[in-house]
Amino acid sequence: MFTNKTILITGGTGSLGKVLIKRLLSEDCGLPKKIIVFSRDEAKQHAIRIEYLNKKASTDEVIFNNFKRLLEFRIGDIRDFESVARTVRGVDVVFNAAALKQVPSCEYFPAEAVRTNTLGPENIIKAIRLFDLPVETVVGISTDKACKPVNVMGMTKAIQERVFIAANIECPRTRFICVRYGNVLASRGSVIPLFHDQIKTGGPVTITTSDMTRFLLSLNDAVDTIFAAVKDALPGETYIPIAKSAHVMDIAHCLIGERPIKLQEIGIRPGEKIHEILISDEEAYRTEKRGDYYVIKPMLPELNPDYSYGKTLSKEFSSADRCMNKEEVLQYLTMHQLLIEQCDCNGIEMLR
């Protein structure tokens, strides 16, 4: 699938980007020609270089050798058109992972969220259109918060989805597709690293509300979703993993275990949802099941002229629908090595 392709990962120094890089270097779906990591954080780029150099060839010879040959770092900002245009030139596949994703931060600085999450993707499209670049596929990385958005982060991501979907008409030689998923286990800013840190300092463990539920997805599951979309998605389609979900209260109890640590309810943060929704009622009739994924077909008639669907959903897909019980949550966290006694010294980077 990626054999001899030049791949660009915008925002490639984030949690998802790092796992995406590793999977591409491991030749999961063929050996790329080049992997370009584009971000504005030189410190994180340097940290990734050092991480791979410290592993040395003995750790994983294939990944290490491919790192030396294939990985290229470029400093730039998704907000800056000239920077984006220079980087997209000569690229076959773009993964747009650049984002402002902290919900409260986006509420306090909504204009900044618009510049990164909405105008940034438009810069990718503009470069392809103006310079007639032969980019094969662009994948927009979205979030559950884009579905029935109630916060700025979700609103800007929802528009990103629509911007990419409409780009199939503007740039018909390029396939623009999206993936949408919920809470990623152990990613920066997610609840599990926060709980780990609070447990290690003796608590209390803070939860927003006892009713809150979240989908659970590993970073590798997220990358699997991206690869499945690249392999099978038609222009304008959005891929969604059929993920498990849990009550955040159960996650906290499982991580605390028998420790004498208190739970403290602190209330919902600005813009936060009680339940994650990956597919709305309005999208359900345009959604079909495809293997381990739900696929939302585009609403634009030019991209789906016969309105053909497989078996559609009858209602929205919410984290409140089919929550695991506490025993299942414990088993799930154990399987993914997320219990506190299994963490490394930092307690955050568990999925290696």
Nearest to 11 by CA among 71, 100, 92: 100
Task: Tell me whether residue 284 is exposed, middle or buried, using C-beta atoms within 10 angstroms of its C-beta: 0 to 12, 13 to 18, 19 or more.
Answer: middle
Q: What are phi and psi of 288, to 5 degrees?
A: -130, 155
- Catalytic annotation, pick one of 145, 157, 273, 297: 145
Nearest to 282 by CA among 323, 327, 315, 304: 315
Instruction: Determine the straight-line distance between the first and last CA of the chain, rounded to whole angstroms.
Output: 23
Contact present, 120 and 138 (Cβ < 8 Å): no
Contact present, 97 and 140 (Cβ < 8 Å): no
Return d(Cα 273, Cα 45) in angstroms, integer.
32
Q: Is 55 part of the annotated catalytic residue set?
A: no
**Longest alpha-carbon distance in the chain:** 62
- Active-site positions read 145
